[in-house]
Amino acid sequence: MAEKKEKRMDCLTLAFTIALLPPIWAVVSPYLGVSVGSVALICAGLYVAAGNDVKKAVPISIGFLCGDLWAVIVLAVQEALNFQPDAELYGILFVMGGLTVIAGSVLARWIYLPAWLCGWAIGLTVMGPVGIDAIGTLPIQIGAAMLAGIWYVGATGALFQKLLLNFLKKKR
């Protein structure tokens, strides 16, 4: 019975935390110059899936930022090659995908490979349609949203929920 009550309390405090914190980011991010605030939710999801462990937040952050940079490099190389779009896209993704896995494996202590791959996909999804010539500050905005997802929505959200649970337990 106590276990069921504890699970319900975990669920309700998590629901409150998710209802409270991410919408604040959604409202504030455009005022901070971040037009891609929803990227934070994707990154928070990966952070939670990776165990919601603040000890992993730095390698996850580095992984996402590497992915963001990787997307810019892909777009720049693709623009520079400019011969056959499908062939060049395949070749670039083939080479860079392989390099990502090798580098991410060698540097696993500092870079969380799934975040690198996910960050790369996010960057290509957001910046790909815009093109390298018009991306402007998008890589910086994406990076800021990635970090907000890990540190604000993920790590701060977990801390807030823990504090809320402790407060409610003391009230009983």
**Cα gap 46→120, rounded to integer Å:** 13
- Give the 3-state secondary structure of residue 152: helix
Task: Give me the residue label for tokens 């975040």.
Answer: 115
Digit-coded pLDDT (tens) for 117-166: 999 999 999 999 998 999 999 999 999 999 999 999 999 999 999 999 99
| Residue 1 clears pLDDT 90, i.e. is over it | no
**Cα gap 32→6, rounded to integer Å:** 38
- pTM value is 0.91
Average pLDDT, the chain: 94
Give 129's contacts (C-beta < 8 A, 6+ positions apart).
Answer: none
DSSP letters for 45-59: HHHHHTTS-GGGHHH
Digit-coded pLDDT (tens) for 23-36: 999 999 999 999 99
